[in-house]
A and B are shown apart, each in its own frame.
Chain A
Amino acid sequence: MKPAPFDYAAPAELTDAVTALAERPETARVLAGGQSLVLDMHYRRERPALLVDINNVRGLDVITVDGHTLRIGALARHRAFETPTVAPAALGRLLSRVSPYIAHPPVRARGTMAGSLAWANPVSEWCATAVALDAGIELTGPLGRRRVPAGDFFVGPFRTARQPAEILTSVLLPLLPGQVGVGFCEQRRTHASFAQVAAVAVLTLRDGVIAEARLGLAGAADRPVRAHDAERHLVGREAEPEVFAQAGELAAAGSDPLAEPHAGVEYRRHVVGVLVRRALAQAREDSNGNYGDEGRDRHEGREAR
């Protein structure tokens, strides 16, 4: 099928985009990369009366370090995150490890991180990453700007806390300084398939002991979630395979996956455990690659004391 008719606006200023959207928010949709929205318009699952195309809005494609935060504009494409230099240290390594799992190059050339978060597919890689990192989601509407923590933003499959008259204008990710290791694992049917389950792991280590653990899961519930029980288990323990396996079991037990034709609930729960264990091992490995930094940090720490 082809998309149903719609009105089209492509303003060059954010205020004009917000005004256009506010005129009929319930029947309008925001077009960024369009790689999911346009597909659903083909199916006519989406029949917006008005499409507000933000691709011409100036300044929305920026990715900048702003204090302790990476600010990602609404038009930053998936492709921008393919190289680790997109962000300092561990955050850059994590984003560049995740982005190749999103569809394939032509889709990554158009699709955006902010758009993925606004779309809120429960198996989205970026949504799991945002939840793992406690991202800030910045929304701009007729009443101004507000910020919602990722943990409160996702409220169900393809449902978010965004109001119809709001545009998701920025994603704020915390930089990951210090001795941090990152990991990402995904299970999918074919190379370009959506994830069945994916796991994001971020470990902060001190002398081989886990000081902080963040686990973000895709496909483990009706929305992206953190594996809080597994995180609590990890903190204070040695970064060892048995501990990772225990964390995987806790994450699996705590998950509540939706059934889908190619991956039943029990299967997905099993996969959650396996991927959490592997992502944690990857994170430890990733931090090993940076022992030089850890050594220096420790040395400086001692001198400071």
Chain B
Amino acid sequence: MTGRTPVRLTVNETDYDVTVEPRRLLADVLREDCNLTGTKLGCEHGVCGSCTVLVDGEGVRSCLMFAVQCAGRDIRTVEGLAAHGRLHAFQQAISTEHGLQCGFCTAGFVMLVVGALEDDPSIAEDPERLDGLLSSNLCRCTGYEGIRRAVLRAYGRNGTHEKDGAEGH
């Protein structure tokens, strides 16, 4: 395919029919064509992780994927987490634990953590793996400690995430 190409993206269970050049990054198409500006672009080099979204359940750099690659895949962004006017348990935890200050990196961290911990909640109880996960993304104002505490609050033993789950969140 050459030039502008029609693609159906499924983002947060909503279909978006967009027409894009193959060279358009998933991150840019989410922001500019789907108007989902919660996903931030920092370095555009795959380093900072601000653009992390979930594709088929896995956290990926949306600056290192083309939107045309994502046709038929299940994309989740930070806009899809809150339900019925309530924040996702990890969003609430990051607020409670002061895991953000300027907030630019927050959407990326939230998607990184939600993707990894939904797949394997035991990461919360393994400091080495949790550090390895959180070092995927850059935060340059608040620091990582509040984010780490938020992971424990939401996904640790008796975490708020499970309680929310029981309420059908």
**Interface set of A (CB-CB < 8 Å, partner B):** 2-10, 31, 34-35, 38-39, 41-42, 51, 53, 55, 79, 100, 104-107, 109-110, 191-192
Contacts of B64-85 to chain A: CB distance below 8 A: 64-66, 68-69
Chain B CB within 10 A, most for which of A38, A41, A79, A105: A105
A interface footprint on B132-169 (CB within 8 Å = 1, 0 otherwise)? 11011000000000000000000000000000000000
B45 contacts chain A at the CB level, 8 A cutoff = yes
In the complex, the chain A residue whose C-beta lies closest to that of B5 is: A8
Complex interface: chain B residues within 8 A of A35 (CB):
46, 61, 64
Binding site for A on B (CB under 8 A): 1-2, 5, 21-23, 25, 28, 44-47, 49, 52, 58-61, 63-66, 68-69, 112, 116, 132-133, 135-136
Known: A38-B64, A191-B132. 11 other contacts (CB 8 A): A7-B2, A31-B69, A34-B66, A38-B65, A42-B45, A42-B63, A100-B132, A105-B116, A106-B49, A107-B46, A192-B135
In angstroms, Cα B136 to Cα A41, docked, is 22
Q: Which residue of B lies closest to A191 (CB)?
A: B135
Does B23 contact A6, Cβ atoms closer than 8 Å?
Answer: yes
Q: A211 to B158, alpha carbons, bound, how many Å?
A: 52
Interface pair B133/A105, CB less than 8 Å apart: yes
Q: Is the CB of A110 within 8 A of B23?
A: no
Question: Do A42 and B1 form a contact, CB below 8 Å, given A10-B69, A106-B61, A192-B136?
Answer: no
Contact between chains at B45 and A9 (CB < 8 Å)? no
The answer for the CA separation of A2 and B64 in the assembled complex, in Å, is 11
Of A9, A34, A106, the contact of B1 (CB 8 Å cutoff): A9
A9 and B68 CA atoms in complex are apart in Å by: 10
> How far apart sit A2 and B23, CA to CA, in the bound complex (Å)?
8
Complex interface: chain B residues within 8 A of A4 (CB) = 23
